[in-house]
């Protein structure tokens, strides 16, 4: 098994956390850029990419689903704490949990967009598109706070929903993208799991603040 990833990607980190939870060994192919420009890894020009025997998979939720289905016995590992959930979504709350995952994915994509576009001098203050991204993040977080408990999105388990939430928020913290704290349940969920071994073993790398290549000014409408 081989995983191509960047130490800065919250999507790749989600897969790395799951692999650590399951105790699955893999070879690392560390990519420098958050979004590699080469199509050698896959047609989406994105990471992570997992190669497992004949299977080459991209997109983090697909990879996680594959791991849980292919190695179900590994998902049962535990170390005196809530076990990794052996599913993406609870069977009796499937569509609810899939909606939570989809909302977290949308929120995570907007957070990454805010970061990447800053390298071109674009911010929510000079880009209507990024202003919308910031509003989207806030609204997603408000909704997610209403769906979570202080234990997580699926109490009694360390769920994929929990992991999917923790990774982009840690990315936002590490990159200074936005102040997201102040939502009681989400704050508690994040803090509850931050010392978990799989989280501590897969930190988001820290980098200097981005320097803009361009200065972008919003011209008044005429």
Please state, in angstroms and as integers, the Cα–Cα distance from residue 158 to each residue in 47, 89, 101, 133, following that order: 24, 12, 14, 28
Runs of H (alpha helix) within 119-219: 128-147, 160-175, 184-193, 197-200
53: alpha, beta or left? (left if phi > 0; alpha if psi -120 to 50): left
Q: Are 136 and 107 in contact (CB under 8 A)?
A: yes
Which run of H or E residues covers position 106?
A: helix 94-118
Q: Are 45 and 37 in contact (CB under 8 A)?
A: yes
**Tell me, what DSSP letter sits at residue 117?**
H
**pLDDT of the residue at 219:** 45
Fold of 2-76: Glutaredoxin (3.40.30)
| Ranges of CATH 1.20.1050.10 domains, the chain | 85-196
**pLDDT of the residue at 124:** 86
- What dihedral do alpha carbons 50, 51, 54, 58 form, nearest 10°? 30
User: Does residue 160 carry a pLDDT above 60?
Assistant: yes
Sheet containing strand 2-5, strands side by side: 27-30, 2-5, 49-52, 55-58
| Ranges of CATH 3.40.30.10 domains, the chain | 2-76
Model pLDDT for residues 164-218, shown as the tens digit of each residue: 999 999 999 998 888 999 999 999 999 999 889 999 999 987 664 444 433 334 4
User: Whose CA is closest to 108, among 172, 153, 189, 201?
Assistant: 172
What is the torsional sign of CA 50, 53, 56, 61?
Answer: negative
Model pLDDT for residues 71-124, shown as the tens digit of each residue: 998 776 666 789 999 999 999 999 999 999 999 999 999 999 998 888 778 888
Model pLDDT for residues 6-48, shown as the tens digit of each residue: 888 999 999 999 999 999 999 998 886 545 555 667 888 888 9
Please state, in angstroms and as integers, the Cα–Cα distance from residue 40 to each residue in 47, 85, 101, 164, following that order: 11, 32, 28, 26
CATH architecture designation of domain 85-196: Up-down Bundle (1.20)
Please state, in angstroms and as integers, the Cα–Cα distance from residue 28 to each residue in 33, 68, 166, 178, following that order: 15, 20, 22, 30
């Amino acid at each position: 098994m081989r995983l191509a990833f960047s130490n800065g990607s919250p999507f790749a980190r989600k897969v790395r956390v799951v692999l650590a939870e399951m105790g699955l060994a893999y070879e690392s192919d560390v990519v420098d850029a958050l979004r590699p420009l080469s199509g050698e890894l896959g047609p989406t020009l994105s990471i992570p990419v997992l190669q497992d025997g004949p299977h080459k998979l991209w997109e983090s939720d697909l990879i996680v689903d594959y791991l849980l289905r292919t190695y179900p016995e590994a998902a049962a590992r535990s170390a005196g704490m809530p076990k990794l959930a052996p599913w993406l979504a609870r069977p009796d709350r499937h569509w609810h949990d899939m909606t939570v995952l989809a909302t977290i994915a949308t929120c995570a994509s907007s957070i990454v967009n805010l970061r990447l576009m800053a390298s071109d001098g674009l911010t929510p203050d000079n880009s209507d598109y990024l202003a919308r991204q910031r509003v989207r993040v806030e609204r997603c977080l408000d909704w997610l706070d209403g769906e979570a408990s202080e234990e997580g999105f699926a109490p009694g388990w360390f769920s994929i929903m929990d992991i999917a939430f923790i990774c982009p928020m840690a990315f936002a913290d590490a990159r200074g993208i936005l102040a997201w704290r102040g939502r009681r349940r989400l704050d508690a969920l994040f803090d509850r799991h931050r010392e978990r071994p799989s989280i501590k073993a897969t930190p988001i790398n820290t980098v200097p603040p981005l320097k803009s290549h361009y200065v972008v000014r919003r011209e008044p409408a005429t």
